[in-house]
Amino acid sequence: MIQEKIQDALNNQVAAEFYSAHLYLSMSSYLESIDLPGAANWMRIQYREELAHAEKIFDFVIERDGRAILEGFDAPPREWSSALGVFQAAYEHEQKVTAMIEKLVELARELKDYATEVFLQWFISEQVEEEASVKAIVQQLKLVAESKNGRFMIDRELASRTFAPSSGA
């Protein structure tokens, strides 16, 4: 049975993952509004990944005979300065989520909850991938600066992203 302290922390992470999903859906809407449907697609896929992450943690709590409790969260931002601003905010957000996952690992170790620690290793690896992916887009957007052709090419590339649930989610 899961300890209450880790159960509460995991439930907080579920709320954080749902917030992340809503943040990315809001970013998708903004990107659509500035005529970047490929970038909007990229964020829409990110939204679906975050929902899968929330469900994965939710199910783990239940699997450990705990109680998964849904908590509310604040509405995400709706406006950014540019596509670059969106992806920079996404990168910063992913760094924040990484820190949250690392704190969960620390708590699991402190409580000697090895099952939760092992479960969280997938999220550690996922965060490395998430940060690298969005950072690469930030770098590309910085490279093209104000080039309409460059933004067009990046947007076209981002449009090709599809949702493929990972084997861990």
pLDDT digits (tens, 9 = 90+) for 53-103: 999 999 999 999 999 999 998 999 999 999 999 999 999 999 999 999 999
**Total domains, the chain:** 1
- Res 168 pLDDT > 60: no
In a domain, 144, yes or no: yes
Q: Does residue 65 fall inside a structural domain?
A: yes
- Report the CATH number that the domain containing residue 76 is assigned in CATH: 1.20.1260.10
Give pLDDT tens digits for 129-142.
Answer: 999 999 999 999 99
Does 164 map to a domain?
no
Domain that holds residue 37: 4-158
Positive/negative CA dihedral, 95, 101, 107, 110: negative
Q: Is residue 128 part of a domain?
A: yes
Whether residue 24 is contained in a domain is answered as yes
- The answer to whether residue 167 scores a pLDDT higher than 70 is no
Residue 169: pLDDT above 90? no
Assigned domain for 167 exists: no
- For residue 168, being part of any structural domain is answered with no
What does the buried/exposed string (b/e) look like for 109-120 if buried means 16 or more CB atoms within 10 Å of the residue's CB? eeeebeebbebb
d(CA 24, CA 31): 10
Q: What is the pLDDT of residues 25-63, one digit of tens each?
A: 999 999 999 999 999 999 999 999 999 999 999 999 999
Q: Is the pLDDT of residue 166 over 90?
A: no
- In this prediction, residue 126 has a pLDDT band, given cuts at 50, 70 and 90, of very high
Give a yes or no: residue 117 inside a domain. yes
